[in-house]
Amino acid sequence: MEFKGQEQSRLELIALPTVDGRRGLDRFSVALIKGASSFAELFDAFQQVGAGQVANGRCFVTLDDLNQCLYTSGHAANAHGFGDHLDYPDDDDAKAVDAYEAALFEATGRALRGLGRMVAWEQLRGELTTSETDIDALSDLNRQPDLLLDDAHVVQCLPGRHDDDLLANIPNGYFSVDWDPFQLRAVVKRICDRHNYALFGIGASTLGFVRQLDSTTDRDVPALVEDLKHLYGQQDSSAWQRLETTLATSPILILGYTEGFADLVE
């Protein structure tokens, strides 16, 4: 996959865990990407890691503001009780911690997919308060995904093969003004099932999708934009046309899920 604007950089691709014991986020962390000069370089490095992990599972990558992403993820998991019936090992034994993290991933996935807490697509309208500035930012993020670059990005290899596995590993949407983990799953399911995208990343404010192209794919970008209008409102914003133009040629789709996602373009 090629993107324009790639520059020279000092990219570091570090396998995890490292020889000195650095684990990344948890037992599922397989690589650390540092020093990417462009989103293109980040995505290429991510794909390189994923190609080497096919036998082990499916890879995802963190996007904007890793530290904030992990902070709100921890609070979101606690707020929704994803690990309430699991006890963290008292002695920090490596095998016990691995078992705990695996169990937490499974428990969170079951909770997200449970029928009793599932959110319907129709319920998402108006759940994220937006202004025209937000739609401008949405257009800018898709036109300039370099805005998502952080000092470091962690690649997670998850044992399942589903898009929402990432949300089970890094649930997010802690603040009441953001989409919560169950709303995020409804968004992911719609974008992936109806529009033939795959979720590849999550940050403190954004989700990243890549279009799955084959000979049968119908690139119905106007239908996708109509679904985004359902999510974000502001139907009359001129930025929707700019976004449609970008998505017609780009395989990448970036969505903001927090009240302040527009701050990324400031």
How confident is the model at residue 6, as a pLDDT?
45
How confident is the model at residue 1, as a pLDDT?
43
Residue type, 176: S
> CA–CA distance from 125 to each of 93, 120, 130 (Å)?
45, 10, 11
Give the Cα separation of 37 and 150 in Å (integer).
Answer: 10
Q: What is the pTM of this model?
A: 0.93
How confident is the model at residue 9, as a pLDDT?
60
Long-range contacts of 19-27 (CB under 8 A, 24+ apart): 24/154, 24/156, 25/62, 25/70, 25/154, 25/156, 25/170, 26/101, 26/156, 26/169, 27/97, 27/98, 27/101, 27/102
How confident is the model at residue 204, as a pLDDT?
97
Helix (H) or strand (E) holding 120: none
Coil, helix or strand at residue 183: helix
The Cβ of residue 4 has, within 10 Å, a number of other Cβ atoms equal to: 6
Coil, helix or strand at residue 135: helix
**What is the per-residue DSSP string for 16-69?**
SS-TT----SSTTEEEEEE--SSHHHHHHHHHHHHHTSTTT-EEEEE-S-HHHH
Q: Which residues of the chain have pLDDT under 70?
A: 1-9, 214-219
Coil, helix or strand at residue 209: strand
Q: Are strands 12-15 and 252-256 parallel, antiparallel or unpaired?
A: unpaired
Contact between residue 158 and residue 56 where contact means Cβ atoms under 8 Å apart: no
Contact between residue 213 and residue 221 where contact means Cβ atoms under 8 Å apart: no
